[in-house]
Structure 1
């Protein structure tokens, strides 16, 4: 039986590309370290725990989200993915060299959710990506 709740649709959210006065190497090292995410998370974080694969966090009023590192391309990109098989999404951090001492950083979210979940999470995910961007800009 077909249902609007079973059909998955792609969700792509792109954060603002920001310029930082740090080298690609510095930013890569920061975003490859789970502890950095504790510093750049939104202020309404309720929980943050590092584990052997990545980290688990919870924002006030939201369920826990477990992320694990999926891919690390030195000085270029870090990909975190859902640690739960029931959720299909990636959080990407793109790093692009501008000069030896500056680079741009952009967070993107790519996922597949049913229409109901997509409608529920789109605004919080946009806010989350915006908060991560603001957080990394302040480092």
Structure 2
């Protein structure tokens, strides 16, 4: 399953947005209002929960300086990645698209597609408000 967010324009340079996203504690600022828990586990890993969903642990998996940040599930139960692709517009502005990719059986895919689409959309919408 692949879900791509709309492109968000962010009032930060490409480097600033990259540094913001690689400091995973900043994801708390991007979470939807329905968040019920956010806990830093270490400098590269955090746990969060949204109402009606199980707790998920995300960790920084990979990064390509100023262009891409890849977070992934720390558990093999729900294997997925959340990739932020960042492009520069100017010295003070950049764009970002979030790409969610996961391997789920068809039934699980049907159940989580809508909540994940909303979640990814909220992250990118909140990013544009930075």
Question: Normalising to structure 1: TM-score of the pair?
Answer: 0.90
- Tell me the residue number matched to 2:12: 22
- Report what 1:126 is aligned to: 117
Give the gaps of 5 or more residues in structure 2: none
Aligned-partner SS, 1:113:
coil
Unaligned runs of 5+ in 1: 1-10
How much does 1:21 deviate? 2.3
> Does the residue aligned with 1:51 lie in a helix, a strand or coil?
strand
Q: How many residue pairs were aligned? A: 129
Post-superposition CA distance 1:79-108 (Å, at most 9, x none): 000100222110001100112221111111
8 Å Cα contact 2:8-2:96 kept in structure 1? yes
Larger radius of gyration: 1
Alpha-carbon distance in 2 for matches of 1:89, 1:106: 16
d(CA) in 2 for partners of 1:29, 1:99: 16
Q: State how far apart, in whole Å, the 1-side matches of 2:21 and 2:104 are.
A: 26
Misfit runs of 4+, over 4 Å: none
- RMSD over aligned Cα, in angstroms? 0.9
| Cα deviation 1:4-54 (Å, max 9, x = unaligned) | xxxxxxx00000011222101110111111221101100000000011231
> Is residue 38 of structure 1 aligned with residue 28 of structure 2?
yes
- For residues 80-119 of structure 1, what are the structure 2 equivalents within 5 Å? 80-119=71-110
Deviations 1:91-131 (A, max 9, x none): 00110011222111111100110011000000000000111
